[in-house]
């Protein structure tokens, strides 16, 4: 399999000196893993032992998973991380995740949060592929997974330390690497580009959602990772009966896990939804576990999911990738700034985020690379042709655009609704749009809370609250520079927002709109105007902390939260 210039590192035979020269590192501390470190192969030939799809022992069930981005480490260069970036079996796996993180020192703020939001809605017209920056755009082209986050305890995850649920003692410090930590993303999926099992959407008309928990099977400083299960993921749709559609654990995942059923909560564009995330008792005396509840205030439907052993959730052994039934629980008591997942790129616990950089519309797709889950009648393509793809990927950081599907595709035996545009998800040969030429990097984002004839309506979110109290402060951040090929420790002039190579020269930003009576609404995209604070648009993301953190991460100052009901 070919990969982009960030590079496939041949773990067993690569000449380390070549990488030392190219990446400008000293070479100190390099170690090459041996095949024996991979542990025993899993019993299933396919599953989600590696969210990034690069397991040496297992094929992914869903090749377009939305994974947690992994950070680099200052002064650490070895077989798994170098030049400030993390590599999964030699593949760079970065994402683009503009994020708004909230802080509070109030006990419980790190493990009990509620958000209120109005889901985004699309223009009546179908997407167009003619004039980048002015095309009709839909939400699935802009963000494949808006999400809310919370850190989870997992003693089997990096840095493999004990973790006491709901305790600030887990926080990493100068003398402590942090408690064993997993990262939970409560993800929403837009309508329009089904089927979910290999694409983006549950169907063409509804939003759906799922609980994702990613762990990392690496030792301290990424000195050694199990190549069979680097980033295992537990996944379950939010269901009206709370029962997973299929096995959620990395070891037992199957096609049913990623196929919505009659109990999957489906939400309409424009619905008002309350999102509650906290620890809760497991029915039947099974202890406590993290639970998400979505209450659709428009349709009066409710869906929920608990990350419990009783529901089939498991954590993963770094030794052999085996799973143990496990109750995931929130990691921290408070949402103070230092309470983070120590291996994740985003420095966060409680946040709202829009996963971007994963879609490019095309006039034509070509170059079949494999058959999808729908069989021979479901080819997956690798090449996008059209106005967004100004030139060939040859010689760029990308080595293809897969997974690509044509207009009208119904995906073989998966029998989905026809795709409303030809397009590529940019998530198979590299995790993201590394030449920044897709829809998210053009100014065709929402300009307000209602759709126009061209652009969608923005999500409208409340600022979060915990036990009835608002969070006291917030900051903006983005890890986009991790995906910029021009951004290196030596030449940091290539680290910028928007990305220097983006032909659209646009990067979406957060806005805070003042409401009548003193309340505030969070919007995201290209929303500005009277009564809207854009915090400088691109400038809101602050400064590049490469020299401080050891990897390129833009963070803003911390702002007081002055919003109220």
Could you tell me whether strands 59-60 and 46-47 are parallel, antiparallel, or unpaired per DSSP bridges? parallel
Other CB atoms within 10 Å distance of the CB of residue 196: 22
Is residue 399 within 8 Å of residue 2, measured between CB atoms? yes
Instruction: Give the bridge partners for 510, in sequence order.
Output: 524
Over its C-alpha atoms, the chain yields an Rg (Å, rounded) of 22
User: pTM for this structure?
Assistant: 0.92
Is the pLDDT at 437 greater than 70? The verdict is: yes
Q: How confident is the model at residue 13 (pLDDT cuts 50, 70, 90)?
A: very low
Q: How confident is the model at residue 466 (pLDDT cuts 50, 70, 90)?
A: very high
pLDDT of residue 203: 97
- Mean of pLDDT values over 73-99: 92
Q: What is the pLDDT of residues 470-501, one digit of tens each?
A: 999 999 999 999 999 889 887 777 899 999 98
DSSP-derived 3-state class of residue 419: coil
Q: How confident is the model at residue 394 (pLDDT cuts 50, 70, 90)?
A: low
Q: Residue 149 has which token pair?
A: 């986050």
Is residue 366 within 8 Å of residue 389, measured between CB atoms? no
pLDDT of residue 75: 87
Q: What's the chain's average pLDDT? A: 90
Is residue 78 within 8 Å of residue 115, measured between CB atoms? no
φ/ψ of 480, rounded to 5, equals -55, -35
Residues 6+ apart with CB under 8 A from 491: none
Q: What is the pLDDT of residues 248-280, one digit of tens each?
A: 999 999 999 999 999 999 999 999 999 999 999
- Give the rounded percent of residues in the chain with a pLDDT score beyond 90: 82
- Mean of pLDDT values over 292-298: 98
Is the pLDDT at 30 greater than 80? The verdict is: no
- The rounded distance, in Å, linking the Cα atoms of 287 and 284 is 9
Is residue 183 within 8 Å of residue 214, measured between CB atoms? yes
DSSP label of 538 = G
pLDDT of residue 530: 92
Is residue 352 within 8 Å of residue 143, measured between CB atoms? no
Is the pLDDT at 245 greater than 80? The verdict is: yes
- Give the rounded percent of residues in the chain with a pLDDT score beyond 70: 91
7-11, 326-330, 443-447, 530-534: which range is least confident on average?
Answer: 7-11
Instruction: Give the bridge partners for 505, in sequence order.
Output: none
Instruction: Identify the helix (H) or strand (E) that includes residue 88.
Output: strand 85-88
DSSP label of 461 = E
CA-to-CA separations, 195 to 375, 377, 409, in angstroms, rounded: 14, 14, 10
- The rounded distance, in Å, linking the Cα atoms of 428 and 399 is 10
3-state SS, 95-126, equals: CECCEEEEEECCCCCCCEEEEEEECCCCCCCC
- Mean of pLDDT values over 189-198: 97
Q: Residue 496 has which token pair?
A: 């910028």
Is the pLDDT at 41 greater than 90? The verdict is: no
- The rounded distance, in Å, linking the Cα atoms of 392 and 104 is 47
- The rounded distance, in Å, linking the Cα atoms of 507 and 439 is 11
Instruction: Give the bridge partners for 111, in sequence order.
Output: none
DSSP state letters, 357-409: S--EEESEEEEEEEE-TT-TTSEEEEEEEBTTB-S-STTSS-S---SEE-TT-
pLDDT of residue 489: 80
38-52, 230-244, 368-382: which range is least confident on average?
Answer: 38-52
Q: What is the pLDDT of residues 127-165, one digit of tens each?
A: 999 999 999 999 999 999 999 999 999 999 999 999 999
Q: How confident is the model at residue 42 (pLDDT cuts 50, 70, 90)?
A: low
Is the pLDDT at 103 greater than 50? The verdict is: yes
In 20-38, which positions are buried (b, 16+ CB within 10 angstroms) versus exposed (e)? Answer: beebebeeeeeeebeeebb
Block residue for tokens 């021009």: 486
Is residue 312 within 8 Å of residue 249, measured between CB atoms? yes
Is residue 155 within 8 Å of residue 162, measured between CB atoms? yes
Query: Among candidates 457, 394, 385, 399, which has minimal Cα distance to 428?
Result: 399
pLDDT of residue 8: 38
CA-to-CA separations, 494 to 20, 222, 478, 480, 552, in angstroms, rounded: 20, 26, 15, 11, 10
- Mean of pLDDT values over 413-437: 90
Angle at CA of residue 15, ends 11 and 18, nearest 5°: 120
Is the pLDDT at 445 greater than 60? The verdict is: yes
List own/partner pairs for 512-518 with CB under 8 A and 24 or more apart. Answer: 512/563, 517/565, 518/563, 518/564, 518/565
Higher pLDDT, 456 or 34: 456
Q: Residue 131 has which token pair?
A: 């004039």
4-8, 534-538, 546-550: which range is least confident on average?
Answer: 4-8
Q: What is the pLDDT of residues 196-227, one digit of tens each?
A: 999 999 999 999 999 999 999 999 999 999 99
pLDDT of residue 393: 65
- The rounded distance, in Å, linking the Cα atoms of 185 and 212 is 5
- Mean of pLDDT values over 88-116: 95
pLDDT of residue 38: 42
Instruction: Identify the helix (H) or strand (E) that includes residue 140.
Output: helix 139-142
Instruction: Identify the helix (H) or strand (E) that includes residue 184.
Output: strand 181-189
pLDDT of residue 560: 96
- The rounded distance, in Å, linking the Cα atoms of 493 and 397 is 18
Question: Dihedral of the CA atoms 156, 87, 226, 353 (nearest 10)?
Answer: 30
CA-to-CA separations, 73 to 83, 343, 359, 561, in angstroms, rounded: 9, 9, 29, 31
Is the pLDDT at 112 greater than 70? The verdict is: yes
Instruction: Identify the helix (H) or strand (E) that includes residue 141.
Output: helix 139-142
């Amino acid at each position: 399999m070919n990969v982009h210039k960030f590079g496939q590192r041949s773990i067993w035979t690569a000449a380390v000196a070549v990488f030392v020269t190219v990446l400008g590192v000293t070479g100190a501390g390099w170690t090459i893993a041996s095949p024996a470190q991979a542990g025993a192969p899993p019993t299933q030939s396919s599953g989600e032992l590696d969210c990034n799809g690069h397991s040496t022992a297992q094929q992914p069930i869903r090749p377009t998973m939305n994974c947690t981005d992994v950070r680099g480490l200052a002064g650490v260069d070895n077989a798994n991380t170098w030049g400030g970036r993390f590599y999964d079996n030699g593949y760079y796996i970065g994402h683009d995740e503009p994020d708004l993180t909230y802080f509070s020192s109030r006990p419980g703020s790190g493990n009990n949060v509620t958000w209120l939001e109005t889901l985004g809605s699309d223009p009546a017209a179908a997407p167009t592929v003619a004039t980048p920056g002015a095309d009709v755009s839909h939400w699935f082209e802009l963000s494949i997974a808006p999400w809310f986050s919370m850190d989870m305890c997992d003693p089997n995850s990096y840095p493999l330390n004990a973790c006491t649920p709901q305790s600030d003692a887990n926080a990493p410090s100068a003398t402590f690497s942090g408690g064993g930590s997993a990262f939970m993303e409560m993800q929403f999926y837009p309508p329009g580009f089904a089927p979910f099992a290999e694409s983006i959407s549950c169907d063409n008309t509804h939003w759906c959602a799922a609980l994702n928990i990613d762990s990392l099977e690496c030792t301290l400083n990424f000195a050694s990772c199990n190549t069979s299960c680097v980033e295992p993921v537990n996944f379950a749709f939010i269901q009206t009966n709370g029962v997973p559609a299929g096995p959620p654990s990395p070891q037992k995942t199957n096609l049913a896990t990623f196929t919505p059923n009659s109990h999957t909560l489906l939400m309409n564009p424009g619905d008002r939804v309350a999102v509650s995330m906290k620890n809760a008792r497991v029915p039947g005396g099974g202890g406590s576990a993290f639970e998400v509840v979505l209450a659709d205030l428009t349709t009066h439907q409710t869906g929920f999911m608990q990350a419990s052993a009783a529901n089939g959730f498991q954590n993963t052994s770094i030794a052999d990738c085996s799973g143990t039934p496990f109750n995931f629980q929130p990691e921290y008591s408070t949402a103070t700034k230092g309470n983070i997942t120590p291996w994740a790129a985003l420095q966060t616990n409680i946040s709202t985020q829009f996963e971007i950089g994963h879609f490019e519309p095309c006039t034509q797709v070509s170059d079949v690379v494999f058959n999808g889950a729908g069989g021979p009648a479901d080819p997956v393509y690798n090449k996008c042709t059209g106005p967004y793809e100004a030139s060939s990927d040859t010689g760029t950081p990308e080595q293809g655009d897969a997974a690509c599907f044509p207009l009208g595709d119904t995906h073989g035996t998966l029998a989905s609704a026809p795709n409303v545009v030809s397009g590529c998800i940019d998530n198979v040969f590299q995790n993201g749009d590394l030449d920044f030429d897709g829809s998210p990097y053009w100014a065709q984002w929402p300009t307000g809370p209602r759709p126009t004839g061209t652009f969608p309506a923005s999500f409208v979110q409340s600022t979060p609250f915990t036990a009835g109290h608002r969070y006291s402060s917030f900051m903006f951040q983005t890890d986009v520079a991790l995906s910029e090929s021009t951004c290196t420790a030596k030449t940091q002039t290539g680290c910028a927002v928007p990305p220097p190579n983006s032909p659209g020269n646009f990067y979406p930003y957060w806005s805070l709109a003042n409401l009548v009576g003193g309340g505030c609404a969070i919007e995201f995209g290209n929303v500005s105007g009277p009564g809207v604070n854009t915090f400088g648009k691109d400038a809101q993301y602050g400064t590049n902390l490469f020299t401080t953190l050891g990897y390129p991460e833009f963070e803003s100052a911390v702002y007081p939260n002055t919003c109220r009901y």
